[in-house]
Every structure is written in structure tokens, then in C-alpha cells.
Structure 1
């Protein structure tokens, strides 16, 4: 492509030069004056055409190569990112968790092991909710201080004439920066307005206590005192109101979740239970209370299949990208941007050796073919094919083989991950190649700048020279015409010749 561009530029410059030469001939024979501007442009272009074309062609080639390395790096990075969980062993440590009933779900994470557990749920964790006695919606209850505590933390609410209605107190509670996790709302019934307090957190320890102090005017403010006691036996919380005639009621109870796992009693302040089974989080809802279910923790072969299949797809993308970048078409004006490139060939050979090799030594070594992953029928293609049935069989029947192939020390994914890091890191072979290309582009830019300066200088020089020549030829033509008029020429006798006669 650069050869064609250079030849085209040279041909164009030669054509302009021929036109300029004709301009000189015409000017010298008196037919017309020279076209100095066209002449100078043609001469300058002829002078710099080859170098300009060469620099432009090299610049295009360098930029094309940089883009090609960018495409290769992107494909390699996508592969590296996609195999991260296979390289570090996370995928092969994933488990599924399935319960036989409703109201109990679970997720298995790091540390989980396969097993079956009988889970009996007695009660789920809940949070406390308290409702005060009824008051008038606009009744001013007095002035003083309310101290509200929850789970060992507390806040003080200053009640004065600006906020001593139920709605004013509720707003002050919700706005307090020291609020330990109590929300306040007003519920209005047929008997009047009620202040409702709710604990944000579940669990027997999260009970609400309200005390009053510094009361100077009391129109019901002292009746907002209430003491809550958490159950120590797995039951529900209890309350004692400061004023039994204007008593609080408990509509929600502070209690822990109570359950057994394999006959072992356990409890949790949250319905998201993380401490009962190592590596497993059990999530309880109301439907689970009073049920006995079987919870099964097993290898998550679906997730493993997805991860391995994705690895094959991403690897094939890298192979296809490299094939495109090194493509060759006989007779075509342009070929793959990295055709014959040693850096790409090094990367290609390294990756192919890893996926085609075995993990382990001797007869104990395992290959991808053992789990249903083989090269495409055309060896030159280089891509991998997955036999999904064989892969699923390996995942369920030969987990040790899969674990060996993708172990986090020298498994195939880990080898690919290490190699890609070596290729793409700063100072790696791709970075080194890109650095050289960018340096070359910087040099080309400097050469183009110098060439532009030389073009300006040459243009000014030629402009002055040919302007002077044009003036000289015009003077000579005028003198020639004058002398012909005096002495005669081929087709005229001349004024002096006529006088002589």
C-alpha cells in the first residue's frame, strides 16, 4: 500500500513538472509569460515528493501497527479478566445451596463444603415496635427531656413549646443525629393519635427504652416513659409503661431467630444467618417458622460450566484476532497489519503451548481433552471446541481432574494469566514494541516539520529566481520586438530598412 502511494505521488509530481517546463518554453519564446506560481509549486513538489510520500507511508504503517497491537492487547486483557476466577481457584470452590421447603434460602461462599443438613426453624428474628397511648393530635404534652435507647446506644430529645406535640416529638426523634436506630411515626385511630416507635434492627437485644426527666410542665409527657426487657430464653420482649393508665402496647417483638441444624440448637439476631454452617449464609422468612427442611450444599457445576465455556470463547477470540492480524491474501494490495510479526508469533506460540499441554507429570498429567475441550478439526485454525456433554460429565464424575486442570498454582488458567501479564505489563514485549513505534512516529513528525521548513525556504528561493527570470525574459522579448521593428525580420523589412530604400 505504501509503494502504490509513493508511486502515485511521484507520477503526480512528474506531470506537474512537465507542465512547468512547458511554461518556461512558452515564456522564453515570447508566446506568453511564465506561470511562476505553478512553476515554483511543481518544482518544489518534485523536489520533496519522494520524501513526503515515504514519511507519510511510514507514518501510516506505524499507526496501523499500533492499532493492531491495541486490538491484540484488548483481546488478551478480556481473556485474562474472564479467567480470573479459574486462575485463582474461586470458580472450582463455588457451591450451590438448595432447601426443600419455603422460607429458607441459602448461598454458599468461601469455606463451604458439600453436605446435607436438616434445618428446623422455631421462630425468625423480628424487631420491636411500640405504640403509645392515644393523645390529641395537637395536644401540647409539656416540656422536659426524653431519653431513648436501643441496643446500648441512646439519644436525648429536648421537648419544648416548639415541638411538644406527638408529631413534633416524632420529627425530633427522626432528625436527631445521635439516633441509635429508632424511627418514629404517628398513627391516628378512632381514639386519637399514637406515637409509634420501631427498632431498625432485629434481635432480642435490640429493645427500645424511653425515660423522661426535667419535666416542668406535664400534660402527658411523663406517660411516654416505657421500659423494655429482652427475653433470655428465646421468647419475646416484654414492656412496662411508666403510666399504666396511659400504657404503651407492643405490636412487634424483639426476638432472635431460633433453629436447629442437624439437631444442634442455634440462634441469630438476624434472619441472615452466617454463623451456623461454615461458609454458608441462610436467609429466613416468616414462611420458614415451624418447618423442618433439608438444606443441600453441593458443587455448583452450572457456574463451573459457564466459567470454563466462557474461557474457551475468550481464548478463541484471541486466536481469531491474531489470525486476522496476520492474514495474507495473494495479490492483495494490503495484508494483515502484523503479518510476519515476531512479537505476535511469540504470543501465539506461548498460548497454544499452554492450552495444548498437560497439568501434572507423567501419566498423571491432565489435558483439556480429558474434560471435552479439543482443537478444531482444522489444526491451522487454532480455536477450541467444547463438548458440553463431556464437560458436564467431567464436572460431576471427575471433579478431581477439573480441579487439577484449573488449580491456582500451575493450572492452565493460571499459566495463561501469568503469560498475559508478562506480555502486556509495562516493559513487556507489547509495551516495548509500542514504545519503539511511538518513538518512530515522533521522529517522523520531526522530519515532517523539518521538511515543511525546507519546503518554505525552497519555495521562497524559487519564487525569487523565477520572478526575476520572468522579468528578464519579458524585457528580452520587448527588446527583440523593438529591434525587429527597426531592422526588420523574417517577415518584415523594418523601419530603418524602409528609410534606406
Structure 2
């Protein structure tokens, strides 16, 4: 009788094959127990290192949130010592150390232009030195274009980032220091085909490489009082068209808009309605936004510049049907050319002036009317404009300037007959383009926006109102001792959160029962974790030069407690803040080569925060302690998994063998039992001897 390998037979037999095989395999499978336990340990460690990485990442975020400005915190206050009952309230606010003038800058240099096909020879080299670091040499392994040189520099990790900009003179190699500050300037030596990339300002040898961004150290606003008055707020220009009926269309001509020094945008509506014109303007890059405002009778196109400031005035040029949308930045209407001495015959035509919704027929009669007569007649009509005459050197022009109640209204002049050449129109100016104007300690300052960022170094003024002669506003910039306290508390709390989390991951708890083993957290025996914690503590206990009496955290009241966390002595911090404000910033944020106050740091030491940020970045980097340990555990787990797979395959084959063997034995025993039964029956049927 045939049997199926690996499958329990359904043939009758005395043996319980399934139970026999199960018990045998249960015994055989114990060979997997050490590997299973090992895999569980690996998984626990991998998970624990994942938790550690997350914890340190949170600490990294907290450290990155603390900047040089955080430890040199300043505050502003505005007071008005003017007298009278019409004093202005809150004409401006001031944000301290928010403008770019206080920020660190990295040096950036740029080569002369090269053609994209220029070849730099294999074997030629370039040496790049940043600050006091030793130079890094880059040798071309093959002939290369300027793009290849860029890639070779970036691959060599020279302390700079190389890029390429292109203009009319060719491709320029740009090198930017990866570390900002005046201590991290770039020097370049180069030979042979790369010699044009050499740069050393201290050398007498001329160079075609130029500095396009000077390095700068971080600074803070100068404490003190500033007397400020605001005479004008910045505003964006806004213009409006004459009224159009709902059926008005624009089927012929061209519409062009230019804002400030921007390029001229040609407007191409997809539909010829006023709404189509509006949508085309908004879809363009003309630096303006357009809306339609209805006065209940007709619709007006309103165009507003997106940016404020006198330089961002709007110019609209329209021909054909679009001529009614023309606008000169001055808000004036200027007629087409009129030959000097030209006369007009009022018996053969006339002039109609529209200012806003008011129409005026200009009183002219008889022949031989000069442009001066036209000007005088318009002024006599008192129609909401002032007429003047200008000459461009060849021709005269009639100029209409809206005035009085019509100063913001659209103006159109319609001429018939002899006066047809004076026909034209302009949109009205609802709001002029203007700069903000203010005085700081008697110095006149203008700004294209109401956010003034470059008048007082380190201070951004936010203008909201114009002041009056009765006002006498003073802006005070002072050290913010309460801000330092808040920052110090944040610093301490961030470390304590990290320390407590690491304690939880490395904790060992002895058993209270004699003879019974204690319990321990997954990372309790990991020396790499203890190494990281030790490095962090060393950074916190380190000494920093240049603080004028403040050289360690203990000098400002921050120290370790018995449980490994930090504690802050508020009274000691207040004393340090009052007596040596600059020293606190130096303690945390000075860098090798430069102190926080910009003075030379000859000791080569970094501030506490600087060191911690460097350490934490290294812990979390690819190839760092956590990454290396995790990858090692993952590799070990892979080996363990492969070994388990091999053993499971062998056990599966063994189970098949056992099953086949016991199935065969069961069949044999069943057959023997059948034979025995048959023989018994036959013997029982034999005749008995008499």
C-alpha cells in the first residue's frame, strides 16, 4: 500500500501518528530556542536605539531652537513724552534682532566666466582652505569641464559648497563657505589649467576670482534710546478706470502694464469683456492685482500695485479699445503731439471733458484757437482739472492734472473736428505710490515699505501711523534679563528631558527577592549609550574662554544634581545677567576663532551650545554612533534570521521523514493485525478432533 510523504495517513492502524510526530518535533525544535531568544534581544535593542534616536532628535530640535540671539536677548519699549490732548498712540512697534543685519553670513566668491566646453586637465589640482583648517586638496582624475570641477570639489568635502551660475560672460564657479563668520574665509591655491581659480586677498598676485558676499559675524542691536517720528506711511499705488457698461467690450488694440522697474507685461484676455481684462491682468506677472467695482450704474476696473513704495508706480499703456485704461504714473493726462503754433477752428469741432462722472463742454468759439487758448478755456471751465502745456523739444502737449474733488477721478478728453487730435484718456489715481518717511535721531529715513529693516542695525520698525508735532516718541532697546532666564530654563529643561529618557532606557532594577535576578532596560549594558551621555556631560562641564569672568555653566547658576539632571539657581543667573550680559552669550554661543561679541577667540574653544549641537549632530548623522550600532544589530538579526530559516527547513524535512516512516509502520501493523485476525478465524474453523 502506497503512503503520502509528510501527510498523516487515514489508514486504520494502531499508532497515533500525529501525536508521535508532534512530540518528536517538539523535542527537535528546542534547537531554535537560543536563536529565538537572541532574535528577541536584537529586536529589543533595535527598538530601544530607535527610541534613543527619537529622544536625541527631540533634544537636537530644542538645541537648534536656541540661537545666539536667544542668549543675548533684547527687548524694545516705546514711550511718548509729548504733551497735549492729540497725542498719537502706537504709531510703530520694534522687533529686536530680527533683521538680516545681525545674522551670520558665510563668505562667497565667484570665478570669472568660462565657456561650458572649456576643459581642465586631469592631474591638475586645487587646494581649498577655510579659516584655520588645513587645506583640502582636490586633484582631477580625468579631464573635466567647469561642472566636473564643481562636482570634484563637492565630493572632496573641502568645507565649501561649489555651484555654478551662468550669465552673458559664461559659467562662473561659486564657492560658499559651509561655516559662516569672519573667521571662516576662503583661500584657494590652484595650478596649471585650474590656476584661474586661485584666490587669496592677501597675495600681491592679481586674481580673476572676486568676493560676491563678505563674511559677517552675528551681532546684536545696540542698546540705547532712539528718538523717532513718522511723517508718512508707505503705500501702494491704486488706480481706477472710468465707468463701463455691462456690455462694454475690448476687441481691438493692445494693453500693456509695467510696475516700477519690472518688465512690461502684455495683457492678453481670453474674453473681450471687462471681467476678461481683469482676469488676464491677474494671471500676468505685471506686479499688480485687478478687481471690478460697481457703483450701481457702471463697472470700474481698479488696479493696485502689489508692492508699496514710490518706485513701484503703475504705468498702463492702451491702444484701440484699451486706450480708456491708459495711465501715466503721475496721474496726469498728456495729449498726443501738437505742432508748435498749430491752431484749431472751433467752428469745425469742439472739446468735451469728462472727470469721473461729470461731463463739461469746453467753451471755445471761432477759428484760430491756439493750444494756449484751449488750456485757458479748460481752466476757466473749472471742470476738476488743471491744464498746462509742456514741450518735448519738438512738439507741444496739453497736460491735464486732476485737482480738487476730481483729484482721484479718471479723465478723458474727447475732441471732434479740428480738436480730434487732442482726444485721449487716463485712469484716475485713488492712491499714490509713496515711501514711508521717518526721522531717527534727526536723520531722515525713507523706506519702500512700512517694515523698516535697515535703519537701526538689529531692529525692525513696523510703522502703523503718522506722528504729529505734539508727539515725542522714544524707542528704547535694552537687555532682556527675563528673556535670558526663560532661555536658560529652556536649556536646562531640554537636557533634563533627555537625561530622564536615557535613564529609563538604561535603568537596572535589582531584585528584592534573594536569589532572584533583577530586571534591566534594553540599553542597560550598552557602553555606546554611556559614552554619548559622558560626552554630553563633558560638554556641559567644559570651560569657555572670552567671557570676562563667565567661563562655565556654574558661573551662571547651572549645575548637575545627584540624579544626573541639571538645576538652575535663578538668583545667581540674575546676578550674572545684570553684571555681565555679554559673557552669557559668549558662554553658550562663541565659536573657535570668534567670540559672541565679535572679538578674537585665541583659545580655539567653542561655546557650550555650539559644542552640544556638534555632538548631537554627530550622534544622529549617518555613520554616527546610533546609526552604526543600529546597522550592526540589523546585520546580526539578518544572520540570526537566516540561521533560523535553515534550521526550520531541516526541521520541516525531518517532520516529513518521521511522518512517512510512521505512516509506513502504521500500514504494516494494520496489515499484520488483519493477517492475525484471518489466521485466528481460519484456525477457529478447523474441524475439531473427535
Q: TM-score range by the shorter chain?
A: 0.7 to 0.9
1:413-452 superposed matches below 5 A: 413-452=609-648
* Most deviating of 238-247 and 144-153: 238-247
Matched with 2:62 is 82
Task: Tell me the equivalent position of 1:227.
Answer: 328
Aligned: 1:349 with 2:349: no
1:284 corresponds to: 463
Task: Look up the match of 2:551.
Answer: 366
The structure 2 residue matched to 1:188, chosen from 295, 298, 301, is 295
CA distance in 2, matches of 1:444, 1:349: 32
- Name the structure 2 match of 1:401: 583
Secondary structure, in 3 states, of the residue corresponding to 1:185?
strand
Residue 248 of structure 1 and its aligned partner are, at CA, apart by: 5.4
Q: How many residues align?
A: 444
- Compute the displacement of 1:195 (Å): 4.0
Give, in whole Å, the separation in 1 of the partners of 2:275 and 2:552. Answer: 73
Indicate yes or no: 2:303 matched with 1:197. Answer: yes
Structure 1 runs not aligned, ≥5 long: 1-31, 232-237, 488-493
- After the TM superposition, which residues 94-493 of structure 1 pair with which residues of structure 2 at under 5 Å, given as runs? 94-100=73-79, 101-108=89-96, 109=98, 110=102, 111=219, 112-134=221-243, 136-138=245-247, 143-153=252-262, 154-156=264-266, 163=272, 167=274, 170-171=277-278, 174-175=281-282, 177-188=284-295, 192-213=298-319, 215=320, 224-229=325-330, 239=401, 243=412, 249-286=428-465, 288=467, 291-329=471-509, 330=511, 331=516, 334-360=519-545, 364=549, 366-376=551-561, 379=562, 381-409=563-591, 410-477=606-673
* Counterpart contact for 1:125–1:202, Cα < 8 Å: yes
User: Relative to structure 1, is the Cα distance of residues 463 and 103 closer, same or farther in structure 2, using a 3 angstrom cutoff?
Assistant: same
2:603 counterpart residue number: none
475-484 vs 96-105, greater mean Cα deviation: 475-484
User: Secondary structure in 2 aligned to 1:274?
Assistant: strand
Cα contact 1:133–1:194 (8 A) shared by 2 = yes
Cα distance 1:339–1:135, how it changes in 2: closer, same or farther (>3 A)? closer
2:70 equivalent in structure 1:
91
- In the aligned structure 2, how far is the partner of 1:98 from the partner of 1:386? 28
Distance (Å, rounded) in 1 between the aligned partners of 2:669 and 2:249: 114
In 1: Cα distance, 2:432 partner to 2:574 partner: 49
Alpha-carbon distance between aligned partners in 2 of 1:266 and 1:60, rounded to the nearest angstrom: 70
Shift of the 363–118 alpha-carbon distance from structure 1 to 2, 3 Å rule, reads: closer
Q: Cα gap change, 1:211/1:483 in structure 2, threshold over 3 Å: closer, same or farther? A: closer
TM-score (norm 1): 0.76
Note closer, same or farther for the CA distance 1:104–1:467 as it changes in structure 2 (3 Å cut).
same
CA apart distance, 1:475:
4.7
Distance 1:484 1:304, change over 3 A: same
Decide whether the 8 Å contact of 2:94 with 2:459 is kept in 1.
yes
Cα displacement (A) at 1:261: 0.5
Deviation of 1:224 (Å):
4.8
Q: How many Å separate the matches in 1 of 2:545 and 2:285?
A: 60
Per-residue CA deviation, residues 236-257 of structure 1 (Å, 9 max, x unaligned), is xx95676358875433222221
Q: Is the CA contact (8 Å cut-off) linking 2:550 and 2:584 kept in structure 1?
A: no
1:23-72 residue CA offsets vs partner (Å, 9 max, x unmatched): xxxxxxxxx812111101211220221x2211111111110011111112
> CA, structure 1 residues 473+356, in 2 after alignment: closer, same or farther (shift >3 Å)?
same
Query: Equivalents in 1 of 2:433, 2:556: separation in Å?
Result: 53
